[in-house]
């Protein structure tokens, strides 16, 4: 079942350690088949070097395990809620990557200090609040997803224009049109988190990049009038 999607999700998971986004098993990637309303996710606690495509677990959007030898990632409920609430998302990544998680532990969003950030994320990458004791005890992973989706809705943030968030004292969630794009965004988050931290070290009084510059860089790559890249496939 969903063999191609399993392969893609497996390959995206294997790139997490390659890009230095995970230590041990501290991360996961999923991808969804919207037509079948099924998603594929990494199994819980299996070392990356031991993973195979067939180890990926197939889940339904109502939370049932459809196929797989192993238990799904402990973050499965967060992924499931985000797929339900963000209908244009095709892949999700969760990491505890060091620089971005440092911002999360500080309870701060990542400000847009330059064009690298603006190329991928419109305005600040937000940091959502802690869950309260009741939310944690009731359904921690599910309520993490609910909190992220509610905060984006409440603050009028476009989840496609800013395909990521930090969770206070926890880590990073990113998403995209598929698992590979979500992985790409996770890599960029770690880089902009590192650059933003260093920027504040060098100039503690720094302010965000001018909005006109942020807009120029974001919209030349995204939206109806984007012009970055090629209009036809480049021949190899």
- Write down the catalytic residue from 19, 119, 120, 159: 119
Strand partners, 91: 31, 176
- Prediction pTM value: 0.94
Closest CA to 193 of 135, 110, 118: 110
How many whole angstroms separate alpha carbon 38 and alpha carbon 142? 17
Residue found under tokens 């339904």: 60
Q: Would you write out the chain's pLDDT as a tens digit for each of its 236 residues?
A: 799 999 999 999 999 999 999 999 999 999 999 999 999 999 999 999 999 999 999 999 999 999 999 999 999 999 999 999 999 999 999 999 999 999 999 999 999 999 999 999 999 999 999 999 999 999 999 999 999 999 999 999 999 999 999 999 999 999 999 999 999 999 999 999 999 999 999 999 999 999 999 999 999 999 888 888 887 765 55
Active site residue 119: yes
Task: Indicate the SS3 state at residue 95.
Answer: strand
Q: In what order do the strands lie in the sheet with 127-128?
A: 65-67, 57-60, 38-41, 27-33, 91-95, 171-176, 164-167, 127-128
Q: What is the pLDDT of residue 228?
A: 83
Q: What is the pLDDT of residue 235?
A: 58
Task: Indicate the SS3 state at residue 64.
Answer: coil
b/e per residue 176-208 (b: at least 16 CB within 10 A) = bebbbbbbbbbbbbbbbbbbbbeeeeeeeeeeb
Active site residue 50: no
How many whole angstroms separate alpha carbon 112 and alpha carbon 109? 10
- Write down the catalytic residue from 132, 158, 215, 228: 228
């Amino acid at each position: 079942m969903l063999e191609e999607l399993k392969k893609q999700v497996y390959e995206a998971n294997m790139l997490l350690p390659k890009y230095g986004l995970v230590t041990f098993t501290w991360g996961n990637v999923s991808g969804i088949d919207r037509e079948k309303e099924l998603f594929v996710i990494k199994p819980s606690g299996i070392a990356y070097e031991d993973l195979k495509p067939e180890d990926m677990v197939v889940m339904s959007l109502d939370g049932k395990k459809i196929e797989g030898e192993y238990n799904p990632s402990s973050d499965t409920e967060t992924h499931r809620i985000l797929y339900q609430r963000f209908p244009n998302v095709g892949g999700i990544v969760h990491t505890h990557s060091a620089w971005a998680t440092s911002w999360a532990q500080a309870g701060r969003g990542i400000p847009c200090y330059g064009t690298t950030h603006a190329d991928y994320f419109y305005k600040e990458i937000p940091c959502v609040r802690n869950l309260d004791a009741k939310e944690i005890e009731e359904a921690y992973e599910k309520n993490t997803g609910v909190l992220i989706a509610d905060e984006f809705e409440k603050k009028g943030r476009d989840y496609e224009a800013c395909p990521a968030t930090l969770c206070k004292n926890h880590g990073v969630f990113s998403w995209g049109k598929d698992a590979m794009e979500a992985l790409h965004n996770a890599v960029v988050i770690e880089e902009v988190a590192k650059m933003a931290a260093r920027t504040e070290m060098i100039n503690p009084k720094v302010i965000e990049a001018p909005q006109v510059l942020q807009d120029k860089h974001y919209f030349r790559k995204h939206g109806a009038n984007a012009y970055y890249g090629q209009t036809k496939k480049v021949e190899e």
